[in-house]
Amino acid sequence: MDEKDIQVLIDGTVNYFHRVVDKSTEVGTPYLADHAEVVVSDFTGIIGISGARRGSIYFTAPSAMLSHILLKQGESDRSPELMADIVGEVANTISGNARRAFGQEFIISVPSVLQGGAARQKLSLAERAFVIPISWKQYNAALVVSLT
């Protein structure tokens, strides 16, 4: 992945949050993750990538942020199941937008969602994994791009 590819994912992230949440969402400077560092929060939506590139893209966020997003969307039920749906939707939407930009050789899976520490144990990162920090209100989340 080069800077241009990362920018496609940043733009997709910004567009999703500005459209669904509001314009106050900020995307921080991406950084290269330490190979041993697996960035996870309360809920993690994972998209497997195959084709010309292999690996995963995942979105991870705290339950308080997901609950607030549900509230912002007018949803009164903020159950763990709905939080899992939201985190999977974010990962899927961002990956789907990337697929349009990268072409048919960028094949994405349906999202899988892990809760809590289970994500830390099941995720493994490629040698070069980028973390894209996302801030909204007082919450911090991340989009992690781990592709070879």
Instruction: Name the CATH superfamily, with its identifier, for domain 3-147.
Output: CheC-like (3.40.1550.10)
Q: What is the pTM of this model?
A: 0.89
| pLDDT tops 70 at residue 38 | yes
| pLDDT tops 80 at residue 1 | no
Which residue has better confidence, 38 or 131? 131
Q: Which of 59, 44, 72, 56 is nearest to 13 (CA)?
A: 59
Handedness of CA 68, 74, 80, 85 (dihedral sign): negative
pLDDT tens string 76-127: 888 999 999 999 999 998 888 888 888 888 899 999 998 886 665 566 666 6
Query: What pLDDT score does 54 carry?
Result: 87
Residue 36: CB partners within 8 Å, gap ≥ 6?
none
For the chain, the structural domain boundaries read 3-147
Residue 103: CB partners within 8 Å, gap ≥ 6?
none
Q: For residues 129 and 30, what is the distance between their CA atoms, to the nearest angstrom?
A: 10
| pLDDT tops 80 at residue 36 | no
pLDDT tens string 45-84: 999 899 988 888 889 999 999 999 999 888 888 899 999 9
